[in-house]
Amino acid sequence: MSIYIAEVHMDKNGIGFTIDDLPGFAAHYEGSDMEEASKAAEAVLRDWIASNIDRGIAIPAPTPAIIADRKLQAEDRPEGIMWMALRARYPAARTMRINLSVDERTLSEIDDKASARGLTRSAFMVEAARAFD
């Protein structure tokens, strides 16, 4: 997962997002709910990344965190503009079979928790790893 800084434009038609690091990326949400708008923008970002990967287009790296943080904290931004961090989730790559060593008690806990959520052991471990994003 990467974090990109989006420029957010708000007007009477909704909320728009662009990302300087990703030429050609734009998302628009019709409404005023910023939380829902950011979720929609992250979904568009995920699809934009997947589309570009499918076409063999390299995805530019995000602005380094120290610079991005300064931009997020800046108070001298143009009127009506704000910046927001958007999480970029890359599409799943080819599934790999792996061997993993774990003690018996922990394996039993993993299986119990996976079963309680209706997941396979593998799916549970993948979801648990993603929870640390």
- 102 shares its domain with 82: no
DSSP string covering 7-31:
EEEEETTEEEEE-TTSTT-EEEESS
Q: Which residues contact 106 (CB under 8 A, 6 or more apart)?
A: none
The predicted model gives 42-55 an average pLDDT of 89
Total number of domains constituting the chain: 2
- 36 shares its domain with 75: yes
- In angstroms, the CA 53 to CA 18 distance is 19
The predicted model gives 77-88 an average pLDDT of 81
- 83 shares its domain with 106: no
- 80 shares its domain with 132: no
Reported pTM = 0.64
- 103 shares its domain with 59: no
- 14 shares its domain with 78: yes
The predicted model gives 17-45 an average pLDDT of 94
- 52 shares its domain with 109: no
- Do 46 and 91 form a contact (C-beta atoms < 8 A)? yes
The predicted model gives 41-66 an average pLDDT of 87
* Domain CATH code at residue 72: 3.30.160.250
Number of other residues whose CB lies within 10 A of the CB of residue 4: 25
- 17 shares its domain with 53: yes
Q: Which residues contact 26 (CB under 8 A, 6 or more apart)?
A: 16, 17, 18
- 49 shares its domain with 8: yes
- Do 86 and 17 form a contact (C-beta atoms < 8 A)? yes
Domain with 108 in it? 95-133
- 81 shares its domain with 99: no
Share of the chain above pLDDT 90, in %: 41
- 118 shares its domain with 102: yes
